[in-house]
Chains A and B, each alone.
Chain A
Amino acid sequence: MLGSLDHDLVLNYAQPGESAMGERIIVHGHVLDEEARPVPNALVEVWQANAGGRYRHKKDGYLAPLDPNFGGCGRVITDENGYYAFRTVRPGPYPWPNGVNDWRPSHIHFSLFGSGFAQRLITQMYFEGDPHIPLCPIVNTINDPAAIEMLVAKLDMKHTVPMDARAYRFDIVLRGRRSTLFENRMEGN
């Protein structure tokens, strides 16, 4: 179902022989459920602004230019251990019309599909050390500092590719695989 470059945002929109502009990074981690069991075969869809903070979307009119070699979308399926990884460039922060001078921290949007709609999650990933995180009204819709911390990816030097790309680690927790209104199994799970 997935194309060979779906998990490589550096190349999947680029002209042959070219690549996206910006800080090259690998984002990787485990998708777990609330009982710390890995969630295999979960679809992870990601989208983001380019290195200058501009989205490839007709409704985004920010001054920063589009990168002709960057589309900003990718997807990957977790392996049997619930592990995923993709390569991209670090997105830039950008202003948005909320308060008079609100800026979004650098962030990557995530959409996750575990097993069934109870494990459906839409969220955003932030970057360790970004001073915009505590200033962001969208981040601050979460009123628990420990929960915010779960959305902040950590610099992971062990998975860095020397002379190529740095790595950020981002683990995600979906709900437990309990029975839901939508599931038709008569037995528990």
Chain B
Amino acid sequence: MTKLEYLKESPSQTAGPYVHIGCTPNFIGNTGVFTEDLGARMVNAHTKGQRIKVSGHVFDGTGTPLKDAMLEIWQADSEGLFNSPSETRGKADPDFTGWGRQPANLETGEFCFETVKPGPVPFPDGRMQAPHINFWIVARGINIGLNTRMYFPEEEAANEADPVLGRIEHRVRVPTLISKRDGDTYTFDIHIQGENETVFFDI
């Protein structure tokens, strides 16, 4: 019989409360080792597209904001192209990194990304996905990185047709992935557990 020699993925362990030391050292005042925290800036003066701010809190099951969470986002540029070597549909905006990393505020737990609104991206089967931002969240007390997506409330028709949102069996939980808009600021609160638990994806 054929034996399949696959390795097992290394297990994940919590980021712990001191994740900043390694991932955003300048944010906590540990300066002089890395010139800049990776992912701190996604846009510059030449970036194309609609500038937006994405902020929110990560809440635990009791509704308390996590003050030691770290979040990363990954998204397409304003034309729907990824700044990645595996992008085959065109060349993404060179003035947009497409990847950001921000720690939650140590006192309030609020996070904030300055980015652009992404364009739509096709799903592997050819259907269009609604504009969205991929999130990865780690914090003390969470053993793995959590993956989710933020969608835009003004994209009702696109959200309705989105193949990933369409796969969520519990329709009542779909709104946990839709941000709230106030001008160019979008609020995306993430609930790790509890009544309003955000939908997380196993990718």
Flag whether A155 is at the interface (Cβ < 8 A).
Answer: no
Closest beta carbon of chain A to B166's beta carbon, Å: 12
Residues of A within 8 A of B9 (CB): 34, 121, 173-175
- By the criterion CB–CB under 8 Å, are A6 and B33 in contact? yes
- By the criterion CB–CB under 8 Å, are B6 and A35 in contact? yes
Residues of A within 8 A of B8 (CB): 34, 146-147, 150, 173
Flag whether A45 is at the interface (Cβ < 8 A).
Answer: yes
> Among the listed B30, B32, B33, B121, which residue makes an inter-chain contact with A184, where contact means beta carbons less than 8 Å apart?
B121
Bound-state CA distance A34–B201 (Å) is: 20
> Among the listed B6, B10, B136, which residue makes an inter-chain contact with A150, where contact means beta carbons less than 8 Å apart?
B10
- By the criterion CB–CB under 8 Å, are B143 and A141 in contact? yes
Are A35 and B7 also in contact (CB < 8 A) when A13-B32, A184-B82 are? yes
Bound-state CA distance A33–B124 (Å) is: 22
A-facing mask of B1-28, CB < 8 A → 1, else 0? 0000111111111111111111101001
> Among the listed A36, A47, A71, A117, which residue makes an inter-chain contact with B23, where contact means beta carbons less than 8 Å apart?
A47
Flag whether A81 is at the interface (Cβ < 8 A).
Answer: no
Bound-state CA distance A118–B203 (Å) is: 6
Residues of B within 8 A of A148 (CB): 11
Closest beta carbon of chain B to A53's beta carbon, Å: 12
Residues of B within 8 A of A32 (CB): 7
Q: Is the interface of A mostly helix, strand, loop or mixed?
A: loop
Residues of B within 8 A of A122 (CB): 12-15, 138, 144-145
Chain A interface residue count, CB cutoff 8 Å, equals 58
Q: Give the bracket for the number of chain B residues in contact with chain A.
A: 35 or more
Flag whether B183 is at the interface (Cβ < 8 A).
Answer: no
> Among the listed B30, B32, B35, B134, which residue makes an inter-chain contact with A182, where contact means beta carbons less than 8 Å apart?
B134
Closest beta carbon of chain B to A19's beta carbon, Å: 14
Closest to B80 in A: A184
Residues of B within 8 A of A55 (CB): 18, 21
Flag whether A186 is at the interface (Cβ < 8 A).
Answer: yes
Flag whether A25 is at the interface (Cβ < 8 A).
Answer: no
Closest to B135 in A: A117
Flag whether B122 is at the interface (Cβ < 8 A).
Answer: yes
Flag whether B86 is at the interface (Cβ < 8 A).
Answer: yes
Bound-state CA distance A122–B143 (Å) is: 9
> Among the listed A58, A118, A120, which residue makes an inter-chain contact with B28, where contact means beta carbons less than 8 Å apart?
A58
Residues of B within 8 A of A47 (CB): 18-19, 21-23
Closest to B5 in A: A36
Closest beta carbon of chain B to A188's beta carbon, Å: 9
- By the criterion CB–CB under 8 Å, are A184 and B19 in contact? no
Flag whether A72 is at the interface (Cβ < 8 A).
Answer: yes
Closest beta carbon of chain B to A140's beta carbon, Å: 11
Closest to A186 in B: B124
Q: List 9 A-B contacts (CB under 8 A).
A: A13-B32, A34-B6, A47-B23, A55-B18, A124-B13, A151-B11, A172-B10, A175-B9, A185-B88
Interface residues of B (CB under 8 A from A): 5-23, 25, 28-30, 32-35, 68, 72, 74, 76, 82, 84, 86-89, 106, 121-122, 124, 126, 134, 136, 138, 143-145, 147, 164, 201, 203
**Which 7 pairs show the lowest CB-CB distances between chains A and B?**
A47-B22, A124-B13, A47-B21, A147-B11, A57-B18, A123-B13, A173-B7
Interface residues of A (CB under 8 A from B): 3, 5-6, 12-13, 32-36, 45-48, 55-60, 71-75, 109, 111, 115-118, 120-124, 138-139, 141-142, 144, 146-148, 150-151, 172-175, 179-186
